[in-house]
Structure 1
Amino acid sequence: MRFYTLAVLLLLTLAPFQIFAQNETQSSVVDQINLGVKYLSEKEHAKSIEELIAAKEASLRNEWYTQAFNATLNIGTNYCLMLDYGEAFRYYLKAYEIAIKHLGKRQEMFVVNNIGILYIEEKDLPKAKESFIKAYEIAKDLDDKEIIGTYGINLALVLNKMGELDQAKKYIEEALPLLKIRSNVLLLAKIAKAENLHLREQYVQAEKLALEILPQINNLSLINEGVTVNDKITLLLLISKIYEKQKQYKKAQKYALMARAAQPNIEERIASYGSLANLFAETNEFYKAIAYKDSVIIATDSLYSIKNTALFKSEKVKFQIQNYQHELLESKKTLKREKQFFYIIIFGVVLIMGFLIWVYKNNSLKHKQRKRIVELELEKEISDHLLIEEQHREKEALVLLEKERLKNELDIKNRELTARAMYLASKNELIEEVVDSLSVNTQIATNTTLKGRVNDLKKHLKKDTQWDSFFVHFEELNQGFLDSLRAKHPQLTPNDIRFLAFLYMNLSYKEIASLLNITQQSCRKRKERISKKMNVPKNIPLHAYLSEI
């Protein structure tokens, strides 16, 4: 029973081609592979192999292993369909090597399954079983339900042929629930189950299931989904065998004749002819039985002739491919010679250009030397000018440093003077606190002597001669400030000038209030009054104005 081989083969070899190119070059390789598959489906094997070999070589050069695998696998399929199983096996092994080294389990699974199909064609059932089991176990690892079901049916069909019916039944029962959405493979699974029942001599159940499948397999839509003519013939022959076992020879002959009529392939007619010869012998129609026996012999001879023709075509294709590869090699050699000639021309041009560049650079060097001399003279003049400017800047820097030093000294002395003023202020503040505390004492108010002493302290606060010494020092440190202030604002009183001196020293209101024995509020009001008296603009702080005098 050969019904499952081509269907599964094409299913598994065409599936990997639904891929997408990653760039323009890969896209062209993918297109080339798809064209090879198209020629394969049209049985134009020479064209298909030529396209696929070119795609394989390009893919291997660029390390595009998925494309290399697909091309190699389908080259093997071409040879399989041409009945050159040895060459098909060789390319399947190449695809297997690519899958193992560079891809994964899924690609390995496809190759192993196709190798199993080759063993079926060579009638090596143990090897076929071994390959199908390996493919089935990989599908299990990948947890691909549909592929598990499909490979389970492959195994069941081989096990049916080998008489391992219990094992076959186990795989069929496992596969059936997994193939509900794959109508074509589901029908193959049911055919395998019917065959298993037939081999178990459960003829009534086998007959019921086979007759149930037959209307479905006659449905054209299912045939379009992948059920082949071979599947229908296999089912018809199976029904014929079931009736034969039940000794219903007329019914058996009817279905065997239907199988023969439906089969255009001479190879598959051999089974039909053999079955018909046996059936007509059972009904004592020896003339027809002998005729069908002769047909078996003729069909067998025709099959050998077809196989020989197929092998001749395979060798012819191999010759064409070798010729194509030879032409490709010659083309590469020609291209290599052209490249060498091109490189020689480039080398000559480079030498000539190098000489011209040397002449140009020699003249340019002389010109640059003359230009450099002029530049050096100009640089010397610029350097001298820069030296003079640098010396001038150094002098200015020394002047600025001297001014900064004097300013720092002035700041130091002003800080000392401020500290002295703060000392005077704290002293006056202490005296004022003592006076205030004594003034509220009732005993001192009745004591004339103590009261006189308190009044002396109050007079001391008003007539502290140390303030005159303070302003003398202030004038020494800030030469010209007081004179410039009096000259610019003659309307200022001595008290105003004293207040402005404290502001100039950057004392706070609290510090000035302590020095002048007044409140901070009075300080603010005095500042506003003096600013108006001096006509200082409102947008300029008084301290900033004093700093500019």
Structure 2
Amino acid sequence: MKAIYYLLFLLLLVLMPFQLFAQSETQEMVADRINLGVKYLAEKEHIKSIEELIGAKEIAIRNDWYLKAFNATLNIGTNYYLMLDYGEAFQYYLQAYDIAIKHLGPRQEMAVFNNIGVLYVEEKDFLKAEESFLKAYEIAKKLDDNQQIGTYGINLALVLHKLGKVDLASRYIEEALPLLINMPNVSLLARIAKTENLLLQHQYFAAEKLALEVLPQLENLSLLKEQITVNDKITLLLILTKIYEEQNQFKTAQDYALLARSLQDNVEERIEVYDRLATLYGKTDDFKTAMAYKDSVIISTDSLYAIKNSALFKSEKVKFQIKNYQHELMESKKALKSEKQFFYLLITAVVIFMGFLIWMYKNNSLKHKQRKRIIELELEKEKSDHLLLEEQHREKEATALLEKERLKNELEVKNRELTAKAMYMASKNELIEEVLQSLLQNTEITTNTSLKSQINDLKKHLKKDAQWDSFFVHFEELNQGFLDRLRAKHPQLTSNDIRFLTFLYMNLSYKEIASLLNITPQSCRKRKERISKKMDVPDNLPLHTYLASI
């Protein structure tokens, strides 16, 4: 047996290091290729970046490493976005979204929605951009990620400005500002968005004050390191030109526009700057300069189209090269497939060998299992015997409970019979009393001394307690010891009190007790209160409950 265990252990030691090493190397390789692709992306070497990212994506998908596949796909889309091929970028963002919803989670979905929103902004489709940014914002809300809530809230507000929804944009900005305290770069962007919002609300003084506060902070930052671009500074400068234009300070507006022109980061920003300068010089009646800037707008627009066409050509060239690269990947896949087949054969041989070892182990351990099974059966028998004893004990307890319930029911029946007898006695005495009263009202009987004497004897007979004594004897037979315990615990009780308490113990109603004692139900209630006080029964404890506990 020990020899078999040793062989199995040795076999695992031989196989496992190779498998673990291969898996670790492959994951490391994918991570390195993604990082290299991102590095090429930052250096704008898009062909190299896409080649690395596609290779990493293929390996990641083949091995079900979905997070790495997602990151690679998203960065491929970003390459195409920077190459101005928005259609191709959109396709890869959709692929990344598909990976996110099938295999990852809401955090990755959120990132895709934000990137798609940026694409829609570039295409000037602000309604679609609002929809995408809103989805990203709502996911951030569900995740309770304050920084992302603030970031996506600002993106949403900037798009809402384009759609003229100024008040709604203001609410998102005010929500985002306190959430971005620990992110100074995004916080500055949020303040730029608030400046634009104040401008659109015609709060020119407040907008000017905030813009002049933010502008020096942009100049003091290491812009690329803090992810604040020249375009953001140009945006703020153009907002200042609009603020001063609305206040008819055209010279100051021109100065800020000229400052924006000196930065000129990209063609699109240049077009907007030239357009602002043309408008401002037109308002100061410097039509020659205004026309010159209008010409610059046209020239820049033509340049932008040329750039886009060139970018499209480059994008198509990249697609062609990527197709070739994918073909090479297919060839490498075929080679990998043959290697896999060999590996599967090796695994099959190992499995057969291990099966043989397992068969030997089972064959040698059969007797041990049989002995173990015999012990288990004996334990099960002891357990079943114990359960049988417990079941018999429960049956005895159930029988005792049933017997107790039967005796209780018989006692209740006899108490009701005793009550009926008492009611009968009371009604009979009441009838006789009524007859006697009627006879005494007869003038012939009142003058007849002999009859009057006999009626008085009958009345005396009614006042005797022989029948009640008989009632108590029967009650004591049914409720043994109750009256003795009651008298011992409360010696101050009178015979009338005990009689009243007896009826309460039998659970008679006030109406029934009143009929037995020839009193009103109201008198019954008062007597019950008086007796409770005499017995010092707590106010929160019903008298019947107290009697049942004696």
Q: Which TM-score tier does this pair reach, normalised by the shorter chain?
A: 0.5 to 0.7
Structure 1 vs Structure 2: percent identity of aligned residues?
Answer: 72
TM-score, structure 2 as length reference: 0.57
Separation in 2 of the partners of 1:338 and 1:181?
A: 52
- In 1, are the aligned partners of 2:90 and 2:119 still within 8 Å (CA)? yes
Deviation digits for residues 321-370 of structure 1 (CA, Å, limit 9, x no counterpart): 00111122234456768999x99xx9xxxxxxxxxxxxxxxxxxxxxxxx
Separation in 2 of the partners of 1:207 and 1:320?
A: 51
Structure 2 segments unaligned to the other structure (5+ residues): 1-21, 346-550
- Corresponding position: 1:191 with 2:192: yes
Q: Which amino acid aligns with 1:238?
A: I
- In 1, are the aligned partners of 2:223 and 2:229 still within 8 Å (CA)? no
Separation in 2 of the partners of 1:103 and 1:336?
A: 28
Per-residue deviation, 1:24: 2.6
Per-residue deviation, 1:296: 0.2
Separation in 1 of the partners of 2:212 and 2:338?
A: 70
Say if 1:245 and 1:339 are closer, same or farther in 2 by CA, change over 3 A.
closer
Per-residue deviation, 1:103: 0.4
Secondary structure (helix, strand or coil) at the match of 1:221 reads coil
Q: Which amino acid aligns with 1:80?
A: Y
Q: Which amino acid aligns with 1:65?
A: Y
Say if 1:181 and 1:273 are closer, same or farther in 2 by CA, change over 3 A.
same
Per-residue deviation, 1:272: 0.3
Structure 1 segments unaligned to the other structure (5+ residues): 1-20, 347-549
Separation in 2 of the partners of 1:229 and 1:199?
A: 23
- Which stretch of structure 1 is more off in the superposition, 24-33 or 168-177? 24-33
- In 2, are the aligned partners of 1:249 and 1:279 still within 8 Å (CA)? yes
Q: Which residue of 1 aligns with 2:79?
A: 78
Q: Which residue of 1 aligns with 2:315?
A: 314
Q: Which residue of 2 aligns with 1:45?
A: 46
Secondary structure (helix, strand or coil) at the match of 1:83 reads coil
Q: Which amino acid aligns with 2:220?
A: N
Per-residue deviation, 1:181: 1.1
Deviation digits for residues 245-301 of structure 1 (CA, Å, limit 9, x no counterpart): 111110000000100111131221000000000111111111110100000000000
- In 1, are the aligned partners of 2:223 and 2:230 still within 8 Å (CA)? no
Q: Which residue of 2 aligns with 1:289?
A: 290
Q: Which amino acid aligns with 1:275?
A: R
Q: How does 1:256-295 map to 2 (within 5 A)?
A: 256-295=257-296
Q: Which residue of 2 aligns with 1:13?
A: none
Q: Which residue of 2 aligns with 1:460?
A: none
Q: Which residue of 1 aligns with 2:183?
A: 182
Separation in 1 of the partners of 2:58 and 2:332?
A: 15
Say if 1:275 and 1:67 are closer, same or farther in 2 by CA, change over 3 A.
same
Per-residue deviation, 1:225: 1.1
Q: Which has the larger radius of gyration?
A: 1
Q: Which residue of 2 aligns with 1:411?
A: none
- In 1, are the aligned partners of 2:76 and 2:89 still within 8 Å (CA)? yes
- Which stretch of structure 1 is more off in the superposition, 217-226 or 315-324? 217-226
Separation in 2 of the partners of 1:144 and 1:100?
A: 19
Say if 1:190 and 1:22 are closer, same or farther in 2 by CA, change over 3 A.
farther
- In 1, are the aligned partners of 2:84 and 2:311 still within 8 Å (CA)? yes
Separation in 2 of the partners of 1:221 and 1:141?
A: 34
Q: Which residue of 2 aligns with 1:101?
A: 102
- In 2, are the aligned partners of 1:217 and 1:223 still within 8 Å (CA)? no
- In 2, are the aligned partners of 1:260 and 1:272 still within 8 Å (CA)? yes
Separation in 1 of the partners of 2:337 and 2:167?
A: 64
Q: Which residue of 2 aligns with 1:156?
A: 157
Separation in 2 of the partners of 1:337 and 1:117?
A: 44
Q: How does 1:323-402 map to 2 (within 5 A)?
A: 323-333=324-334
Secondary structure (helix, strand or coil) at the match of 1:288 reads helix
- Which stretch of structure 1 is more off in the superposition, 105-114 or 219-228? 219-228
- In 2, are the aligned partners of 1:190 and 1:213 still within 8 Å (CA)? yes
Q: Which residue of 2 aligns with 1:242?
A: 243
Q: Which residue of 1 aligns with 2:513?
A: none
Separation in 2 of the partners of 1:195 and 1:168?
A: 10
Separation in 1 of the partners of 2:84 and 2:94?
A: 17
Q: Which residue of 2 aligns with 1:438?
A: none
Deviation digits for residues 476-503 of structure 1 (CA, Å, limit 9, x no counterpart): xxxxxxxxxxxxxxxxxxxxxxxxxxxx
Q: Which amino acid aligns with 1:296?
A: V
Say if 1:63 and 1:228 are closer, same or farther in 2 by CA, change over 3 A.
same
Q: Which amino acid aligns with 1:285?
A: D
Equivalent residue pairs, number: 325
Secondary structure (helix, strand or coil) at the match of 1:208 reads helix
Separation in 2 of the partners of 1:34 and 1:42?
A: 13
- In 2, are the aligned partners of 1:252 and 1:279 still within 8 Å (CA)? yes
